[in-house]
Structure 1
């Protein structure tokens, strides 16, 4: 079968205008859909916070979904490597899925290193002003390396892993974060309350 390059197909692609507005999907869920985007180094606590937030939201009968970077690397993004271009494509895919889920009326929680500022800004641009909240999990490299829950820091410092964020691949801290959490100083309970305030607009 002959395959067209994506650029060759673009002139023929026309987004279909759906009859049901996104507001109607949110209305039957009785919630304000949004995307909470947790960014930070590996081991900073992003997944822990994402899971704690989802449990709390679920307890309040809100409809949610967590897009965890490692989980997506096992499926949607399993074909991507770890060089800069692959990392950008990884974040682009996550952002597009998150936008679709927000369109479906969900509260979406993204937990992904997403190291490059421009990629996070591109993700934010997919949403309206009040739908996207960037949370910088600012736990230090030293703390993350000490925790090293997956053994990645040890492997990276021994040269067994390359393109490791914070070591031989850069991490660009957000300048537009709506919330900053250092999990070395703030416990999960307090951090979750901060995130809840973002979701609920408090």
Structure 2
């Protein structure tokens, strides 16, 4: 039987904050496919880095090409996908970085589990866009395939999307430009995760 022992770090959260100039955090972007989560996450990463923050984006497609390549898109597969991502995001935050996680993450229970894993560092960002707008964009042609019955369990069509009930921040990508949504998130970060020193 394996015996696991927690290994304590000699660096504290305060040590890491002093090094990076800000607290570690998880900015969890959730929304329908086509809402613009990935574009917003990459824009935000770029803008925050220029301001002096240390950030990294975990994107749904990228993670499924590596860490979660063995998972499917069933309810169980999606739940495990988000569980793993929550654990990884938590490690980023513990390391003192700002992890920007861009995932559809359609189920409230899965996002709640990620929040519990990340504790007080978790910030839920709802990238809101109505289904009609997302279908119009359909950058990968997935909605068209889902409507034709070629994709099963597709969020918003044959599987539910449970919108956040109390997100820390909401941007509406259907009515706002990418630049406006990015600026809203920058202000949110500056207000809630202020820099403690200049870059």
**Is TM more than 0.5 here?**
yes
Tell whether the 8 Å contact from 1:139 to 1:183 is kept in structure 2 after alignment. yes
Q: How many pairs are equivalent?
A: 192
Please report the RMSD computed on the Cα atoms of aligned residues, expressed in angstroms: 1.2
* TM-score using structure 1 length: 0.91
Q: What do residues 35-81 of structure 1 show as CA deviations (whole Å, max 9, x unaligned)?
A: 11000110101001101101101111211000000100100011000
Task: Please give the alpha-carbon distance, in whole angstroms, between the structure 1 residues aligned to 2:81 and 2:177.
Answer: 29
Q: Which residue is equivalent to 2:195?
A: none
Out of 101, 106, 128, the residue aligned to residue 138 of structure 1 is: 128
For structure 1, which runs of at least 5 residues remain unmatched after alignment? 1-7
Task: Please give the alpha-carbon distance, in whole angstroms, between the structure 1 residues aligned to 2:63 and 2:118.
Answer: 21
Deviation at residue 190 of structure 1 after TM alignment = 1.6
Q: Secondary structure at the match of 1:168?
A: coil
Out of 181, 186, 189, the residue aligned to residue 171 of structure 2 is: 181
Out of 145, 151, 161, the residue aligned to residue 171 of structure 1 is: 161
Deviation at residue 137 of structure 1 after TM alignment = 1.1
Out of 134, 137, 140, the residue aligned to residue 150 of structure 1 is: 140
Deviation at residue 83 of structure 1 after TM alignment = 0.3
Superposed structure 1 runs of 4+ greater than 6 Å apart? none
* TM-score using structure 2 length: 0.92
Out of 11, 18, 34, the residue aligned to residue 43 of structure 1 is: 34
Tell whether the 8 Å contact from 2:128 to 2:174 is kept in structure 1 after alignment. no
